[in-house]
């Protein structure tokens, strides 16, 4: 009589049921600023300068991630800088955080209690054009809250490099700080000739490298990344460029091997050995021979 031996592999998956945390306010200070506008400053600016400012000293009383929220103006933007700022450099380059959505402008900065910083309301410069200039000396009353929270959005990933493949690339990066809430995914930004448009990875992936696809072979591509946690997305990473080519596929496969290969638990390894050994026997009605 034929006997049947069946080896059953039982795989147990332990799910991590961690609940995503969201930020809680631990400090909030209301401020009112009145930046004065300098039309001459606007007309003369040749880059991203400022046509007028107002500032106020701010000293946090608790350690927290600080953000400018509920900013009332569209004509100006808020900045946070160290108290000892350099008047010979652009404020934008010295900002610790601000309300601008620009690439280099983080929305949040971690401050310890007693740190002396300046909160600014600034008119943006006219990019060498005077169309946006107002009458010299004009002012605008701006209100805002400087909010400290226990956790924040993550910092942007850094050190991006790309290994091209056919139709895309492997993007390597160094994760930024999680800022109190674990990074759960990344958004990929592609440049359409005017701006970057972001789409979240699906399925989510938090390991470097990630794979980006949908690009045309032979056409240079530009990509940025944003990290995502329970509080939202980081600012943009620096840009990385690559040119997908069909010939690059083999190199990309090699690059992918940089990810660690998972190993079998010891009990599964022994079961695999036994199963392989059993294949070496022949089975007939009288048993093994």
Q: What would the DSSP string read from start to end of 67-100?
A: EEES---SSEEEEEEESS--TTS-HHHH-SEES-
Dmax over Cα atoms in the chain, in whole Å?
105
C-alpha to C-alpha distances, 65 to 25, 109, 147, nearest whole angstrom:
9, 5, 8
Please report the pLDDT score of residue 287 as a whole number.
53
- The model's pTM is 0.65
Please report the pLDDT score of residue 103 as a whole number.
59
Residues in the chain: 289
Give the residue ranges of DSSP H helices in 71-174. Answer: 91-94
- 3-class DSSP string for 188-222: EEEECCCCEEEEECCCCCCCCCEEEECCCCCCCEE
Beta carbons of 179 and 204 less than 8 angstroms apart: no
Domains, the chain, in order of start with CATH, read 25-149 (2.60.120), 158-256 (2.60.40.10)
pLDDT block averages, 10 residues each, the chain of length 289: 33 38 86 80 48 88 94 87 86 84 75 96 59 63 94 92 95 93 95 90 94 94 94 90 79 50 51 51 47
User: Could you tell me which of 113, 125, 223 has the C-alpha nearest to residue 173?
Assistant: 223
Please report the pLDDT score of residue 59 as a whole number.
97
Please report the pLDDT score of residue 17 as a whole number.
39
């Amino acid at each position: 009589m034929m006997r049947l031996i069946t080896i059953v592999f039982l795989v147990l998956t332990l799910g991590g049921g961690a609940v995503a945390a969201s930020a809680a306010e631990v400090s909030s200070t209301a401020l009112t600023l009145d930046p004065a506008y300098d039309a001459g400053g606007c007309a003369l600016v040749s880059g991203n300068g400022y046509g007028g400012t107002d500032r106020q000293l701010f000293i946090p009383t608790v350690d927290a991630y600080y953000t400018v929220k509920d900013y009332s103006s569209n004509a100006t933007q808020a900045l946070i800088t160290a108290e000892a700022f350099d008047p010979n450099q652009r404020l934008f380059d010295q900002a610790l955080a601000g309300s601008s959505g620009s690439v280099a402008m983080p929305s949040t900065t971690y401050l310890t209690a007693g740190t002396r910083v300046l909160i600014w309301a600034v008119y943006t410069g006219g990019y060498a054009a005077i169309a946006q200039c107002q009458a010299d000396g004009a002012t605008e009353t701006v209100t805002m809250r400087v909010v400290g929270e226990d956790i924040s959005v993550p910092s942007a990933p850094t050190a991006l490099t790309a290994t091209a493949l056919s139709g895309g690339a492997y993007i390597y990066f160094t994760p930024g700080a999680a800022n109190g809430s674990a990074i759960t995914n990344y958004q990929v930004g592609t440049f359409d000739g005017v701006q970057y448009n972001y789409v979240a990875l699906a399925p989510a992936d938090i390991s470097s490298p990630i794979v980006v696809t949908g690009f045309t072979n032979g056409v240079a591509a530009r990509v940025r990344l944003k990290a995502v946690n329970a509080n939202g997305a980081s600012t943009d990473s620096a840009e990385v460029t690559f040119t997908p080519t069909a010939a690059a596929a083999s190199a990309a496969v090699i690059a992918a091997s940089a990810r660690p290969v998972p190993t079998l638990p010891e009990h599964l390894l022994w079961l695999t050995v036994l199963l392989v050994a059993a294949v070496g026997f022949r089975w007939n009605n009288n048993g093994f021979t």
